[in-house]
């Protein structure tokens, strides 16, 4: 069965939010912060209606096999999760490329020990823009794509 990529419409959030949370907790390899999970749990349709936030899904029929979630162009949260059984098939790359088409700019934070994610984002043209200590205490790299501005990071990325 072929995969379908779509942006979750705001009106569909309420019926799918619990499923998406369960998916991220189950497939996120404990790399998704509690703050990001709390954001997804409290996300409201109005927030998805803005051009700053998005939930992009990879679907196999009615089954979620991948998700890229973004809040405030990634300055607040951005996380990519692919079902373990579907990894190494280009799904993360496709989700990221789709999200880059939707948003004028996109920021991601990646722990320096997450070599697979760093390689994926670099392969799509993301630029390394800042190093910091991430929310989990690990050395983390900020990468940016599109019409990003250094001022955004100064203002929002600490």
Tens-digit pLDDT string for the chain (158 aa): 699 999 999 999 999 999 999 999 999 988 898 999 999 999 999 988 888 899 999 999 999 999 999 999 999 999 999 999 999 999 999 999 999 999 999 999 999 999 999 999 999 999 999 999 888 888 999 999 999 999 988 876 55
Kindly state the helix (H) or strand (E) to which residue 78 belongs, with its residue range. Answer: strand 77-82
CATH of the domain at 18: 3.40.630.30
Rounded CA gap, 10 and 6, in Å? 12
| pLDDT, position 26 | 96
Domain assignment of residue 62, given as a range: 4-156
| pLDDT, position 157 | 58
Q: Is the pTM of this model over 0.85?
A: yes
| pLDDT, position 135 | 80
| pLDDT, position 158 | 53
Rounded CA gap, 69 and 81, in Å? 9
Q: What total of structural domains would you count in the chain?
A: 1
Q: Which two tokens stand for residue 4?
A: 């379908």
Query: b/e per residue, 78-111, with b = 16+ CB within 10 A?
Result: bbbbbbeebeeeebbebbbbbbbeebebbbbbbb
């Amino acid at each position: 069965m072929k995969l379908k990529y779509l942006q979750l419409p705001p009106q569909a959030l309420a019926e799918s939010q619990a499923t998406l949370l369960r998916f991220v907790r189950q497939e996120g390899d404990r790399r998704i912060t509690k703050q990001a999970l709390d954001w997804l749990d409290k996300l409201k349709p109005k927030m998805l209606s803005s051009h700053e936030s998005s939930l992009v899904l990879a679907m196999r029929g009615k089954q979620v096999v991948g998700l890229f979630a973004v809040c405030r162009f990634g300055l607040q949260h951005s996380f990519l999760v692919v079902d373990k059984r579907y990894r190494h098939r280009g799904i993360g790359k496709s989700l990221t490329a789709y999200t880059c088409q939707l948003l004028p700019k996109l920021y991601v934070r990646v722990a320096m020990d997450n070599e697979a994610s760093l390689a994926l984002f670099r392969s799509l043209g993301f630029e390394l823009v800042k190093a910091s200590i991430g929310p989990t205490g690990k050395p983390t790299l900020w990468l940016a794509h599109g019409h990003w501005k250094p001022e955004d990071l100064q203002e929002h990325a600490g």
